[in-house]
Amino acid sequence: EAQVTQNPRYLITVTGKKLTVTCSQNMNHEYMSWYRQDPGLGLRQIYYSMNVEVTDKGDVPEGYKVSRKEKRNFPLILESPSPNQTSLYFCASSGQAFGSEKLFFGSGTQLSVL
């Protein structure tokens, strides 16, 4: 089954404790992206990757890191989480340039930073 697998589904942590949210897709997609979703603000792009070792900032990259060492994996790293990073996070992938083909989303990670 074609899917984007994102873990964990829920995460509660404390300020400053490094964490990683994993994302993996089994569709051989080149394009992958991370979004955060906050009430009233919709989906905002954090980082995206057009291919292995090619990543770039989205609209809200501050406080986040990503890496793309393998085509299937695109982890999101919070080196020193802060309460304003409490949000619902989604990983997504697409087989072509993001705008010309649909995005496949992971199931989401609800992050709370205390």
Partner 1 sequence: QKEVEQNSGPLSVPEGAIASLNCTYSDRGSQSFFWYRQYSGKSPELIMSIYSNGDKEDGRFTAQLNKASQYVSLLIRDSQPSDSATYLCAVNLRGAQKLVFGQGTRLTINP
The residues of the shown chain that bind partner 1, judged by CB under 8 A, are: 33, 35, 40-45, 48, 50, 56, 58-59, 90, 97-100, 102-103, 105-108
In Å, how far are 27, 80, 96, 108 from 102, measured between CA atoms?
13, 33, 9, 17
CB of residue 70 to partner 1, shortest distance in Å: 21
Taking the complex as a whole, how short is the minimal distance between the CB of residue 97 and partner 1, in angstroms? Answer: 8
Shorter beta-carbon distance to partner 1: residue 48 or 64: 48
For the residues of 2-50, what is the DSSP string, one character each?
A: --EEEE-SEEEE-TT--EEEEEEESS--SEEEEEEEETTTEEEEEEEEE
15 vs 55, beta carbon nearer partner 1: 55
Quick one: which of 1, 2, 59 has its CA closest to 33?
A: 59
Place of tokens 């205390």: 114
Smaller CB distance to partner 1: residue 17 or 102? Answer: 102
Q: Compare residues 12 and 14 and give the one whose CB is closer to partner 1.
A: 12
CB of 25 to partner 1, least distance (A): 13
